[in-house]
Structure 1
Amino acid sequence: MKKPEVSYVRNGDVSLAYQVVGSRSHDLLLVSGFVSNLEYAWEYPSLSRFLSGLAEMSRLILTDRRGSGLSDRFREAPPQETMLRDLEIVLDEVGSAKATLFGLWDGCETSILFAATHPERVSSLILFTASAAQKPAEDYPWAWSDEYWEEWLASIRDGWGTRAWVVKNARWMGPGMLDSPDELERWIAYTRLAASPSSAEAVMRNSSDTDIRGILPFVRTPTLVLHRVGDRIEPIEAGRYVAARMPDARLVELPGDDGIPWIGDTAAVLHEIRTFLGERVQHPSSDRRLATILFTDIVGSTQRAAMLGDAGWGELLGEHHRRVREELERFEGVEIDTAGDGFLVTFDGPARAVRCARAIGERVRDLGIEIRAGVHVGEIEHVAKDIRGIAVHIGARVASLAGPGEILVSSTVRDLVAGSGLTFEDAGEHELKGVPDRWRLYRVIG
């Protein structure tokens, strides 16, 4: 296949490289991990054949994520919500209203979050070597420990791109390449051209702090989970976990131990994808989606209203509302409701919601006002201009526990903002009135 042209689209001041290959009616967006380079991919024989196979069954959309390949580089990896916006911009640029997302490695997390946040844009999901978390938990014991992660990150910092490092790690990433000197040489070049040591470390450090276990039940998109049983990048238990917790997912366990789809039995991978796409599964229409919910209200509003009187309080409240709405516009929040002195707002990403809450607190402080705020990520349902769902109740309960000038967030928020620069301290476990279980909350401190 002739090497396709590379094009660029910008998200703000960041240029994102992309290609479109094939002319089938079904769009397939490959959401690769950070090991990606659009130019070299077509000079890498086994990868080129794999991409050509995908293009035969779809209009294949390829992109180098920011920080990788031909897209602009960085030293600090961005949070997931920025990556979601990048994908949205690429899809808009190529005129794709709805596509199948094919997540590969750490691109699986991004694909899952995109499908949960923008279900109307995703017809189906394909996940290869998927995982839901990178640190161990009671129901996820096979993930790497903090100590192992630090050793791994140090090895990336000191060895990424060197022949010795790549050969050593090929033994578990893609052992099949060790039997082919040419394949190994191509993989060495691909990793070097995909990312620098600092950007590779930054992406992997973000990945180590990301946990999407709580998001999986909200993804109703038809999903094919492909995982090789001997995979050493992510054990087969990770693929089974993801598939078991997604409502419309099917797991196919493939033979082999290569964590790279174009190495090993590539024909089996392409066959499963072709069969899945041929099923033409339809995602049932729904107004449910993943959203970040922000609640704010004024601390001590009743006493302040009594002290100022109706006219004075009305004037102060009007100025408060004006300033809050300016910040909502700046951070792309959607105002859902205003009850008295409080706001209910939704966002596409949790980092923006937290930053907006912090900005609101600063904007109204010179009015002699302190606010409290709570942020949660969960599934909501749009009903006319309102939203409903247990996530709304959780967000309200989180906000009610915050003190003056305080922003509290759920653990789901904390798990999704890796790379945002936000910092938190543990605020303990709490019972939320009317909500099952105990919830660990975190206080925003920077």
Structure 2
Amino acid sequence: MPHATALDGTRIAYQVHGEGAPLVLLSGQANNHHWWDAVRADFHAAGSTEGRPARSTITLDWRGTGDSDKPDEPYTTSGFAEDVVAVLDALGIERADVYGTSMGGRVAQWLGACHPERVRRLVLGCTTPGDVHGVARDRAVSAALASAETAIAKATLLDLMYTPAWLADHPHGPWNVLGDRDMPPYARRRHLLASRRHDAWDVLPEITAPTLVVHGTADRFNPAENAPLLAARIPGARLHLIPDARHAYFDEFREVASPLVLDFLDAPSGA
């Protein structure tokens, strides 16, 4: 497994699949690159579709997850963005498209604002500008997720991620979005704090890359009301809401979401 070295010396594991224009895929809180397993091939297949360029996809294991180092020190979403830059540097990629979902969308906001020269187009999925200016999830949801009863927490998370109909049709998954089971408890807590403390509101107007904001209308994990807030705050951003989709819209509603993202990434400049 190749690694990049972050500014503080932390080793960040990354994965590259396919060939072609680079697309960075950023996963959610306390998850590693497997978050994207169910849909990654959608972006590789783009090159086989008439009129679409071939793409490579780049993922990473956040510090604290997967094969990356797991320092027991504070993590921040802006710091995670610097880890992404370290991966791009290790690969010799000057500029890439970036698609971040959930906490990955928080990180992508910092990338777009603080490293505009590295981001060609930006997609922010099921994410938030931060609770200070955004809409926080219901406290009852947070309490259930924090339950000491593992079964309760898992059932709550599945319900937030997928619709009842999808869960009925997929009683055994696969579920790639429930977190890295091998994370040390301290790293899990540090990921949670990084997400909770995210606040990119002041820098959002500095994003210059064409931006698409995507959200499921039934998302209660990151409430859907955050999507129009982001879209209004980022100059020229587009907004697309997927009816009835929950937090893992990119998985359950992949037949809508993946073409939507590809159409945006493939659009001519200025379109």
TM-score by length of 2: 0.85
Alignment of 1:14-413 (within 5 A): 14-24=10-20, 26-38=21-33, 41=34, 47-57=36-46, 58-135=55-132, 137=133, 140=134, 142-144=135-137, 148=139, 152=142, 156=146, 158=148, 162-176=150-164, 178-179=167-168, 180-183=170-173, 186-187=175-176, 191-193=179-181, 195-281=183-269
* Deviation, structure 1 residue 121: 0.8
SS in 1 for 2:202: coil
- Flag the 1:191–1:210 CA change in 2: closer, same or farther, 3 A: closer
Separation (CA, whole Å) in 2 of partners of 1:156 and 1:73: 22
Aligned residues: CA RMSD: 2.6
Separation (CA, whole Å) in 2 of partners of 1:211 and 1:191: 23
Length, aligned pairs only: 260
- Kindly provide the amino acid, as one letter, of the partner of residue 212 in structure 1: A
Deviation track 1:50-75 (CA, whole Å, cap 9, x = no partner) reads 01112233211111111122211244
- Flag the 1:53–1:206 CA change in 2: closer, same or farther, 3 A: same
Deviation track 1:195-254 (CA, whole Å, cap 9, x = no partner) reads 343322221122222222222212121001111111111222100110111112100111
Which structure exhibits the higher relative contact order, with contacts defined as CA atoms closer than 8 Å and separated by 6 or more residues? 2
* Deviation, structure 1 residue 262: 4.1
Separation (CA, whole Å) in 2 of partners of 1:280 and 1:50: 24
Separation (CA, whole Å) in 2 of partners of 1:168 and 1:154: 6
- Kindly provide the amino acid, as one letter, of the partner of residue 74 in structure 2: A
Gaps of 5+ in 2: 47-54
Q: Which has the higher strand share?
A: 1
Separation (CA, whole Å) in 2 of partners of 1:74 and 1:261: 31
- Kindly provide the amino acid, as one letter, of the partner of residue 15 in structure 2: Q
TM-score by length of 1: 0.53
Separation (CA, whole Å) in 2 of partners of 1:77 and 1:195: 15
Gaps of 5+ in 1: 1-5, 284-446
Separation (CA, whole Å) in 2 of partners of 1:163 and 1:95: 44
Question: Percent of pairs identical after alignment?
Answer: 25
- Kindly provide the amino acid, as one letter, of the partner of residue 15 in structure 1: R
Separation (CA, whole Å) in 2 of partners of 1:209 and 1:260: 22
* Deviation, structure 1 residue 154: 9.1
Deviation track 1:13-72 (CA, whole Å, cap 9, x = no partner) reads 311111111112x2111121234334xx3xx9xx53401112233211111111122211
SS in 1 for 2:238: strand
Native 8 Å contact 2:76 2:198 kept in 1: no
- Larger gyration radius, structure 1 or structure 2: 1
Q: Report the counterpart of residue 2 of structure 2 in structure 1.
A: 7
* Deviation, structure 1 residue 194: 6.0
